[in-house]
Structure 1
């Protein structure tokens, strides 16, 4: 079997040593080259032609953000950012907007427990990204989507639920850039590396015209806001519009779980709810999306061409959970239509 070839970019010799040690555990991955800053990486990556690039964010000469921008313009590759959780986490989301596909919290040290905690996450993400096709970034124009369903009438719901995993931060950003206002509350789950959820919400509020916030237990939803599940908490919606946070067991390895959120919408709101499933590995949320559709609600999955990983939406397609498949931008345009007279 052909090995996944990885280029590591980090100005810290210790970090490079740790990452090499982690990747040496995977027989199907090899470190093809290393670089100590973005400028050096930019010159060697076209020669090495790796399957995946793993880069630090903060480096001298050329940082991970500029490296990502230049690679995606000239020699696009699947890029994973290795970044420590710090007060400048906003730049992590800027690099995702520039074209990076994933990020993980950088291992803090050489202790065996720390390595074990991070090794599976890093190896799994590299394995997934190696199969992702990336392209030079282009601005595409599209018309506003029709609100006419495929044989199913669409009405404005009481609540909308959205879930995402790998590639989700960029998909959420594309959706929210299209929305000026929305007359209903939105509840959301984004699988996120530990320590980044607050920064993600802050990042969205830097450009979103509807407020993004972390959900609070017992809080009553308000129209025109998007409520995200906090780190390590399931988010559910009760019939009266109150949010419920729980530390119940992870569902299929996830807490928060998209499935838990969408299941609560199917139970409590049924036909008066919408469910949207975005890019991500695995199948979290697919069965719950079908539960919403079976209850008479309207359901959307991100289309395969625009997904970083067509896992969750792909599972939704297999089981007939989605009424429509759309790009994130078109989903945003559809949500924007809810706040107009175009219904």
Structure 2
């Protein structure tokens, strides 16, 4: 049984979340709170398995409550919010910085066409996050680097002799935390363009880009169609598009791509990058649910490109990188610290 605390100042939304969660046989809402202070006090008395946390609340907001809870009695926290105002999005990413694991938009009402989709997404995230072994920013990630030989190219590539043209990163649940860790450690002299597909609710991409821009020496932006990639820049795929790169290093955004059910798709990006850049491509697959990108990462490796997956110990959810590891899609399986070291070593 998953014991849940629902933190939300709107009584209507609070009751709606309780209704959705309580309808599941393996979930039990053990309490509710109307503000962050009530949430902190509740956790001191009775520790839940998971917290759904609103951001804008009276007395104490969700960001402050997350910071206080994670610093004293760590509990998996999901941010569930509906406002895309600059102030709320900023607080949302500060909550992620403090240790919250994921961001979800508040579900639409029962009569809405997206209700069932929203409900299933909330339930799925709650189930997965309730089992997460918390990884905090102070955790000491494994320094062990695993090197795999399955799907190894017929001719082993000497990385030191390759002039890598592009780094493609795929990430989902738990992504903002690990991206912040990796991107903030790259020096201003890093000159390989980076393209990223991050699964995230619409309305939160701009806030994440702004947050990351304050953490890294590189320029972070949302990719624009036909834009030419430049060194020292990081480009995020817009949430409503698929992202490809042509052979002239230009962005190609597509609203629809037959055969790709997730949008944006890591698989779509990897296939494009592997096709056009082959051994000069780097594919990195980080924490996330499901298997988006795993098979296509193997394709990059088979074409001579360098492939890396995040290790299980440091992943919030070892779905996508775990699938890649099973397929032998990654040359290296690494902690974020080691991924940073490897990427810096490729910079020329």
Aligned residues: CA RMSD: 2.4
Partner residue, 2:286 = 278
Matching of residues 37-186 of structure 1 within 5 Å: 37-84=35-82, 85-88=84-87, 89-107=89-107, 111-113=111-113, 115-134=115-134, 137-138=137-138, 140=140, 153-154=158-159, 155-180=162-187, 181-186=189-194
> Deviation per CA, 1:293-342, whole angstroms, max 9, x where unpaired?
111111100111110000000001100011111222332233233446xx
Once the two structures are overlaid, the 10-residue window that deviates more, 191-200 or 270-279, is 191-200
Mapped to 2, the partners of 1:214 and 1:324 lie a distance apart of: 28
Mapped to 1, the partners of 2:306 and 2:256 lie a distance apart of: 27
- Structure 1, gaps ≥5 residues long: none
Partner residue, 2:297 = 289
Partner residue, 1:14 = 12
Q: Say whether residues 1:202 and 2:202 are aligned partners.
A: no
Secondary structure class of the residue paired with 1:103: strand
Q: Say whether residues 1:225 and 2:223 are aligned partners.
A: no
Partner residue, 1:193 = 201
Secondary structure class of the residue paired with 2:330: coil
Mapped to 2, the partners of 1:251 and 1:304 lie a distance apart of: 28
Secondary structure class of the residue paired with 1:179: coil
Secondary structure class of the residue paired with 2:86: coil
Kept in 2, the 8 Å contact 1:18–1:110? The answer is: no
- Structure 2, gaps ≥5 residues long: none
- Equivalent pairs counted in the alignment come to 336
* TM-score, normalised via structure 1 length: 0.91
* TM-score, normalised via structure 2 length: 0.90
Q: State the 1:142 CA deviation.
A: 9.1
Kept in 1, the 8 Å contact 2:10–2:34? The answer is: yes
Kept in 2, the 8 Å contact 1:257–1:285? The answer is: yes
Q: Say whether residues 1:309 and 2:317 are aligned partners.
A: yes
Once the two structures are overlaid, the 10-residue window that deviates more, 54-63 or 313-322, is 54-63
Q: State the 1:91 CA deviation.
A: 1.6
Mapped to 1, the partners of 2:268 and 2:136 lie a distance apart of: 36
Q: State the 1:108 CA deviation.
A: 5.8
Once the two structures are overlaid, the 10-residue window that deviates more, 284-293 or 109-118, is 109-118
Secondary structure class of the residue paired with 2:313: helix
Partner residue, 1:265 = 273
Secondary structure class of the residue paired with 1:227: strand
Distance 1:136 1:170, change over 3 A: closer
Distance 1:43 1:234, change over 3 A: same
Q: Specify which of 299, 322, 326 is matched with residue 330 of structure 2.
A: 322
Mapped to 1, the partners of 2:245 and 2:136 lie a distance apart of: 40
Kept in 1, the 8 Å contact 2:141–2:314? The answer is: no
Q: State the 1:139 CA deviation.
A: 5.9
Once the two structures are overlaid, the 10-residue window that deviates more, 15-24 or 243-252, is 243-252
Mapped to 2, the partners of 1:153 and 1:22 lie a distance apart of: 53
> Deviation per CA, 1:97-149, whole angstroms, max 9, x where unpaired?
11000111124656444543421111111011011111565264998x9xxx9
